[in-house]
């Protein structure tokens, strides 16, 4: 039987813990797990904890953590994805798959052709929603460390990101070729309407190399999946 695995947004140690309300509700009321059920928990520190539920009630759940294990190792190649903001499920899908593929950081980007505008309280809610998407992806794929999801940022501000290699995907550029093994990589993906010529040129001035992934123009939510898969082939699994 598959072992249930959950992220707990609080530091974990061996011993008895009362779980946060949101996790307790999901484990006890949604999954209906009972005392004695085996669980695997992680807190984003890179460690995994094995244990079993000791108490389950309508209001609280306690777990007895009995063993601490090293979690899945993160890639030595640190990937920072700059993802043009897109609508609803498209953005969710891009964040989910980028998390599963091992990116270290994700920054939603506001660009010239971006159709999504987020301000104040709505931006905070979307950021919390994207973080939960990443948490769920980590629970499913086995990652022990969460990617950092930054608040939405203007494209021009993000272009100064530090990385050994910086790539912007553009359908009329030359094919993505192998570069010397980088330690850090920044990928720029445009929104649904694509990046403008001025934005591509601005990226080039910030040392981004323009590259394409093939003869077809990819959707904004598909491009990061293909780009990260190609990067894995060129520079190793991450």
More confident residue, 49 or 216: 49
Question: Are residues 81 and 98 in contact, defined by beta-carbon separation less than 8 angstroms?
Answer: yes
Q: Which tens digit of pLDDT belongs to each residue from 172-227?
A: 666 666 678 889 999 999 998 889 999 999 999 999 988 877 777 788 888 888 88
d(CA 192, CA 84): 8
- CA of 77: how far to CAs of 96, 104, 147, in Å? 19, 9, 13
**Alpha-carbon span 89 to 99, nearest angstrom:** 15
- Higher-confidence residue of 60 and 212: namely 60
Looking only at Cα atoms, what is the longest distance across the chain? 60
CB of 54 closer than 8 Å to CB of 35:
yes
Q: Using alpha carbons, select from 137, 123, 124 the residue that is nearest to residue 93.
A: 137
On the question of pLDDT at 153 being above 80, the answer is yes
- Predicted confidence at residue 220, as pLDDT, reads 86
- Domains in the chain: ranges and CATH: 4-70 (2.40.240.20), 78-235 (3.40.1280.10)
Q: Is the pLDDT of residue 134 over 90?
A: yes
Q: How many residues does this entry show for the chain? A: 238
pTM (predicted TM-score): 0.90
pLDDT for 65 equals 97
pLDDT at 238: 55
Q: How many Cβ atoms from other residues are within 10 Å of residue 58's Cβ? A: 9
**pLDDT for res 175:** 62
What does R_g of the chain's alpha carbons equal in angstroms? 20
């Amino acid at each position: 039987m598959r072992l249930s695995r959950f992220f707990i947004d609080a530091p974990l140690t061996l011993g008895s813990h009362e779980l946060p309300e949101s996790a307790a509700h999901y484990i006890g009321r949604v999954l209906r797990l009972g005392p004695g059920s085996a669980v695997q928990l992680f807190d984003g520190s890179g460690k995994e904890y094995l244990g079993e539920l000791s108490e389950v009630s309508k209001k609280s759940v306690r777990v007895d953590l009995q063993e601490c294990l090293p979690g899945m190792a993160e890639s030595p190649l640190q990937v920072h994805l700059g993802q043009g903001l897109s609508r609803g499920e498209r953005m969710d899908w891009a964040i989910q798959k980028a998390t599963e593929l091992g990116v270290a950081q994700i920054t939603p980007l506001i660009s010239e052709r971006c159709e999504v505008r987020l301000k104040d309280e709505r931006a905070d809610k979307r950021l919390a929603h994207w973080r939960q998407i990443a948490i769920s992806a980590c629970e499913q794929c086995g990652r022990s460390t969460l990617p950092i999801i930054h608040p939405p940022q203007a494209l021009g501000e993000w272009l100064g990101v530090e990385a050994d290699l910086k790539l912007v995907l553009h359908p009329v550029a030359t094919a993505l070729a192998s570069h010397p093994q980088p330690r850090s990589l920044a990928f720029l993906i445009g929104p649904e309407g694509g990046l403008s010529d001025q934005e591509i040129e601005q990226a080039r001035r910030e040392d981004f190399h323009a590259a394409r992934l093939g003869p077809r123009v990819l959707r904004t939510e598909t491009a990061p999946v293909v780009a990260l898969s190609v990067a894995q082939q060129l520079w190793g699994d991450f």
